Amino acid sequence: MAINYRLEGHAAVVTGSTSGIGQAMAGALAEQGVNVMLNGFGDAAKIEADRAALAARTGVQVLFHGADMSKPAQIADLIATAHKAFGRIDILVNNAGVQHVAAVDEFPDEKWDQIIGINLSSVFHATKHALPVMKGQGRGRIVNIASAHGLVASPFKSAYVAAKHGVVGFTKSTALEVARAGITVNAICPGYVKTPLVEMQIGDQARTRGISPERVVEEVILAAQPNKAFVEYDQLAGMMLYLVSDLGASTTGAAYTIDGGWTAA
Ligand code: NAD
């Protein structure tokens, strides 16, 4: 049976979609006929080239809004601009996120505030502004990109772990509120994904530790991931497409792991 997600003509906002997972999610949605509002930081010329290439490749409308996801007023404008441009918002993927690694007693206050703001509070602000639109449509899909760190912890990542646990809790609470409104709210909790940042870390760590890149991957980066394999973008996109399609209508308030067995341990 060929699965048709039936998403043509829908409209999505994907936060933090100028690189990594968000960019892959936006691409997967556009390939299914969904008009997409991109968001994120980066080189303006590259962002515009990527936006134009995705629009040309898929034939959907692809727009960009540079809202800083740590700024509530800019988040409100991102959602309002998408609504105005597309006339609807069917899908919100809350993906923007940053990391900082330090011991709690040395954690810089501004880094704590930044991580909580971008990784957790932005999910609240974007959801708050998208929900009235979705309620008006009688249908909506919200997918929050949390992390295995939304379910379990690692040392030295206190702000990130706190924010991602918060995202999972917020996902559940919001799902309960809107369960009768045709709106689902779910979290995806990936293990390690081989984004450009992770690829750079492999080379750096191999040089610093004087071991092969293969050993860095298995013993350092994927130490917590039992299958010793990075999570692929397509694996995340497949789950996301399921959740945002009609197939996901009964699936809400959940946190789905895609982590090679990490959180089973
Ligand atoms: P990435 O650095 O490649 O992408 C992050 C995106 O967020 C970029 O587009 C960036 O411009 C944007 N961004 C950062 N700060 C922003 C701000 N203030 N306003 C607007 N946009 C901002 O990272 P990624 O690895 O693709 O991570 C995406 C999400 O997936 C994050 O929430 C991250 O926590 C989560 N995640 C990543 C992994 C992994 O292994 N890479 C694992 C689990 C969860």
**Residue 75 shares a structural domain with residue 94:** yes
C-alpha angle with apex 61: 48 to 181, nearest 5 degrees?
A: 125
pLDDT of residue 128: 99
The model's pLDDT over 45-81, given as tens digits with 9 standing for 90+, comes to 999 999 999 999 999 999 999 999 999 999 999 999 9
Residue 81 counted as domain residue: yes
Q: Does some domain include residue 5?
A: no
Judge if 80 and 177 occupy the same domain.
yes
Residue 90 lies in a domain: yes
Q: How confident is the model at residue 242 (pLDDT cuts 50, 70, 90)?
A: very high
91 in the same domain as 73: yes
Q: Which residues contact 71 (CB under 8 A, 6 or more apart)?
A: none
Specify whether 97 is located in the same domain as 39.
Answer: yes
Tell me, yes or no, whether 167 and 222 share the same domain.
no
Angle at 262 between CA 257 and CA 265, to 5 degrees: 115
- For the segment 88-111, the average pLDDT, to the nearest whole number, is 96
Q: Classify burial at 29, counting beta carbons within 10 Å of its beta carbon; exposed 0-12, middle 13-18, buried 19 or more.
A: buried
Q: What is the pLDDT of residues 37-46, one digit of tens each?
A: 999 999 999 9
State yes or no: pLDDT of 197 exceeds 90: no
The confidence score (pLDDT) of residue 199 equals 86
Pocket lining: 68 vs ligand 1, CB cutoff 6 Å:
yes
Is 262 inside any structural domain?
A: no
Please indicate, yes or no, whether residues 87 and 148 belong to a single structural domain of this protein. Answer: yes
Lookup: tokens for 218: 């298995």
Catalytic-residue membership of 160: yes
Assess if residue 263 is contained within a domain: no
Q: Is the pLDDT of residue 201 over 90?
A: no
Is the CB of 40 within 6 Å of ligand 1?
A: yes
Confidence at residue 102, expressed as pLDDT on a 0 to 100 scale: 92
Q: Which residue has the tokens 């071991």?
A: 211
> What is the reported pLDDT for 196?
82
Same domain, 177 and 125: yes
Mean pLDDT over residues 213-228, rounded? 93
Question: In angstroms, what is the span from residue 166 Cα to ligand 1's centroid?
Answer: 16
Indicate if 180 and 50 belong to the same structural domain: yes
Same domain, 77 and 108: yes
Nearest atom (ligand 1) to Cα of 117: 18
CATH number for 114: 3.40.50.720
Residue 187: pLDDT band with limits 50, 70, 90: very high
Tell whether 199 and 184 lie within a shared domain.
no
Residue 40 forms part of a structural domain: yes
Residue 200 pLDDT more than 90? no
* pTM of the predicted protein model: 0.97
Tell me whether residue 264 is in a domain. Answer: no
Does residue 22 have its Cβ closer than 6 Å to ligand 1? yes
Say if residue 186 is in the same domain as residue 98.
yes
- Classify residue 176: in a domain, yes or no: yes
21 CB under 6 A from ligand 1? yes
Lowest mean per-residue pLDDT among 32-41, 109-118, 178-187, 208-217: 208-217
Average pLDDT over the chain, rounded to an integer: 96
Residue 83 has pLDDT above 80, yes or no: yes
Identify the domain containing residue 215 by its residue range: 194-230
What mean pLDDT is predicted for residues 83-93? 98
Tell me the CA–centroid distance for residue 180 and ligand 1, in Å: 31
The domain tally of the chain equals: 2
Catalytic-labelled residue, pool 5, 160, 192, 233: 160
Q: Are residues 199 and 70 in the same domain?
A: no
Tell me what pLDDT residue 2 has: 79
* Alpha carbons 222 and 153: distance in angstroms, whole number: 15
Over residues 227-235, mean pLDDT: 96
